[in-house]
A = this chain, B = another copy of it.
Amino acid sequence: MNSKQPTAAPPDAPANPVQALLEAPLSLRERKKLKTRQTIRREAYRLITEQGYENTTVEQIAAAAEVSPSTFFRYFATKEDLVLTDEYDPVVLDTLLARPADEPFLQSCRESMIGLIRDLLQHERQELLIRMRLVTEVPALRAGLSRSSSSPQELYLAALTRRAGVEEPTLDMRITAAAIGAATTEAVLQWAESDGVEDIVTLVDHTFAVLASGFAGV
């Protein structure tokens, strides 16, 4: 369900998953861990926006966050993960799976994606923009975007597989997940490149329209 809470979670989860984590009754240890993670990321973003991604070393970030480099790597497997992972991934999967099973998958993706974006824009628009801008500008990050369980591809594929109730995804599912994932990523990148000026919901909407058209327009 949620990587932060392997044990059964209360069913009455609040709307914002990040707030939910902070509000939940956590042990001192858990609170400290969460705080450390936030501190590392905050300091990292500060340094990176000041001096650039490549010019910022893990050592610097660790020092700024007042932890050892060892600890940094316990919280983020790689330097890229600082930018490329977030706490929303499991939420996306959940909302996707919550859609009616007979709804066309493309539409499920559209609804869940737009809902997610609305939420993100409200709660952490600025951070999202910084991160996505970084992704567009730093080649290493752009390359790493499609990696890991954080990618839309993987999430969509997981949703499709579970929805069909099978173990191994079929080629159809892989194609679908890959195409939709890659396309929506482009929409978000375009939004970031416009510095958030363009309306992201419109962009995403347009993306799904193109996907649904079978690329007849080009």
Interface size counted on chain A using CB atoms at 8 A: 42
Cβ–Cβ < 8 Å partners of A176 in chain B: 210, 215, 218
Q: Name the contact of A206 in the complex, choosing from B171, B207, B214, B217 (C-beta under 8 A).
A: B171
Q: Name the contact of A182 in the complex, choosing from B179, B210, B218 (C-beta under 8 A).
A: B179
Nearest CB in chain B: distance from A104 CB, A: 7
Most chain B CB within a 10 A radius of its CB, from A148, A176, A180: A176
Are A175 and B214 neighbours in the complex by a CB distance under 8 Å? Answer: no
Q: How far is the CA of A180 from the CA of B218 in the complex (A)?
A: 12
Cβ–Cβ < 8 Å partners of A182 in chain B: 153, 178-179, 181-182
Q: Is the interface of A mostly helix, strand, loop or mixed?
A: helix
Residue of B nearest to A146 (CB): B146
Nearest CB in chain B: distance from A106 CB, A: 5
Nearest CB in chain B: distance from A134 CB, A: 16
Q: A104-B218, A179-B180, A179-B211 are in contact. Are A171 and B187 (CB under 8 A)?
A: yes
Query: Can you give 18 A-B contacts (C-beta < 8 A)?
Result: A104-B215, A104-B216, A104-B218, A106-B215, A171-B187, A171-B207, A172-B210, A172-B217, A172-B218, A174-B190, A175-B187, A175-B211, A178-B183, A179-B179, A179-B183, A179-B210, A180-B215, A214-B214
